[in-house]
Amino acid sequence: MSEISEDPAAGAEFRITRQALADGSLLARMRALRLPGLALKSDAEIEASLDAVLATHPPATDAFVFGYGSLMWNPAFAFTTRHLAILHGWHRRFCLRMPFGRGTPERPGLMMALDRGGSCRGIVFRIAAAHVRDELLLVWRREMSGTAYRARWVTVRTAAGNVRAVTFVVDHAHPRYVRHLTEDEIADTIAHAAGPLGSCASYLSQTIAALSALGVTDHGLERLAAEVADRA
């Protein structure tokens, strides 16, 4: 099995690591902050959400996870293989306002989520059948501890063919979802927002680097990074 241990973002006070997800310490620290707008599910609610999604997954078979942001460069769960994949019908976008994590209540940041339309290139990870629930629980504690994402089974295309994978899309009804932001507004926010998980600028640059390592150029992200650099 392969894994990457932690988020290398400079200046981060928290680290997203396999250990911090497995022992619950990351969630415990986030819960202790009691930040306005930070609604976190209980452990029981997180597990119930995972079990609901796994109810439609064939038992005793490998599972796939599609990552399009920090999961690409810091998965923090064990997997057997990973490959470039493309998802049609959804695109990666900075559309989720974050008053914590990579922002603060005084200066919220922006995080990426999958939103309707277009397409998105990312990484599809394969989890061995014997470890599906244990490894996905780590992913759930990270991605589904809040209420802004919805877990969804999608079909992604790889060089070897189509794969059914679980991924995380934005909930349009969530109060932190931002539908209409100009590129200038997004760049301004990313250039100046940071929190206990690091800066939004680092999140953007590491996502671009992960795609570059796959031989993928996301022209929208590259253009945004240039605008962020101009404001830094």
Q: Does 106 participate in catalysis according to the annotation?
A: no
Q: Which positions ≥6 away from 151 have C-beta within 8 Å?
A: 49, 50, 53, 140, 143, 144, 166, 167, 168
**Phi/psi at 131 (nearest 5 deg)?**
-120, 10
Question: Do 93 and 69 contact (CB within 8 A), yes or no?
Answer: no
| Rounded-to-integer distance, Cα 90 and Cα 36, Å | 30
Mention every residue, 6+ apart, whose C-beta is less than 8 A from residue 180. none
36: phi > 0 → left, psi -120 to 50 → alpha, else beta; which?
Answer: beta
| Phi then psi dihedrals of residue 72, to 5 deg | -65, -40
Catalytic hit among 3, 13, 45, 143: 143
Length of the chain: 232
What span, in angstroms and rounded, lies between the C-alpha atoms of 212 and 93?
A: 18
- Between vectors from CA 46 to CA 166 and to CA 158, what angle results, nearest 5°? 10
Q: Which residues are catalytic?
A: 143
